Amino acid sequence: LLRAYYELDDLESFRAIFARLKKKISRDRRTALGHQAAYQNFSELLSELIKLREKLWLSGRMKKEQLNHFYEKVSSVEPMLHKQWLLDKITVLMKE
């Protein structure tokens, strides 16, 4: 759902779902620790991607170094859900 709101540029819905997901991840004892970490890593990096994208839109530019650094950061994080999707979105920002 977070990915859909990202694609639709619906940041209000994204933030609402993101807040609920963070609470659920931290409270749900049934979720295996590996899955919990993967969800948490994905949600935190997606939130960071949103901030970078907003910065790009507001300023009209962004240093390639920032995006390259973020790309490397995402590449190195384990465990993580939807890693390739995040890397693809960073690549799109690099081309803008």
Task: Provide the residue-wise pLDDT of the chain in tens; the chain has 96 residues.
Answer: 788 888 888 888 888 888 887 777 777 766 666 688 888 899 899 989 988 888 887 776 667 888 999 999 999 999 999 999 999 999 998 887
Tally the domains of the chain. Answer: 1
Contact 90, 67 (CB under 8 A): yes
Query: Which ranges constitute the DSSP H helices of 1-96?
Result: 2-7, 11-27, 33-59, 64-76, 83-95
Q: What is the pLDDT of residue 30?
A: 66
**Which domain does 50 fall in, by range?**
2-95
- What is each CA distance from 45 to 25, 30, 71, 77, 89, in whole angstroms? 15, 23, 10, 9, 12
